[in-house]
Amino acid sequence: MSNTQIEWKISEGLTPYLEAVAAMEARVEDIIAGRAGELVWLVEHPPLYTAGTSANAADLLSNDFPLYQTGRGGQITYHGNGQRVVYVLLDLKRRNAMDIRAFVQNLEKWLIATLAEFGIAGFTREGRVGVWVDDKACEKKIAALGIRVRRWVTFHGVALNVNPNLAHYAGIVPCGIRGFGVTSMHALGVPASMNEVDAVLKERFDEVFRHCER
């Protein structure tokens, strides 16, 4: 199966978080059993915080929004409207690509390539999860990553800040990383629409993941 056969799904409106997790869990089981194909699912969530498997309770600074415990890797992060969350459900075994580190690096390359299309120079930093940008001589996070793998099927994924309410990040220490800010495409002066971002995400995904087609 080539990447063109991956199902791409865009959900309109705000998707409740627990609904999304239940849908991912069911789809992963169907992929494992051979009942369904791979899926890239693009959603927006209402304002909320999620805690990954490495979360530190001290990094939750506010109870303004609900906190959900989740099985993905990583620490505490924020989701909300204006942020494009992309759940990536791929079968690494069938793709002959059973290298989780390489998969994570490809997710980072995908986000960096997407940002580049809008004139934003994203990069990674050793010891700091996510994709970062320079903003007025400060490094700020613009995208977060957190995945889970079950029997070589991936789920959860990435979150790209298009135009979320950045003040909502004040309630957490994002991903447990202190001393650095958070930004968005709009805050950097790039007023891209969600539809425009979605189109580029799909184009760049095909390019980054083409080498591991089945």
Side chain identity at residue 45, one-letter code: H
Task: Return the HEC string of the chain.
Answer: CCHHHCEEEECCCCCCHHHHHHHHHHHHHHHHCCCCCCEEEEECCCCEEEECCCCCHHHECCCCCCEEECCCCCCEEEECCCEEEEEEECECCCCCCCCHHHHHHHHHHHHHHHHHHCCCCCEEECCEEEEEEEECCEEEEEEEEEEEEECCEEEEEEEEECCCCHHHHHHECHHHCCCCEECCCCCCCCCCCHHHHHHHHHHHHHHHHHHHCC
Active site residue 175: yes
| 50 alpha carbon, distance to own chain's centre | 12
Catalytic residue among 24, 172, 175, 208: 175
48 contacts 66 by C-beta, under 8 angstroms: yes
- Catalytic center residues: 175
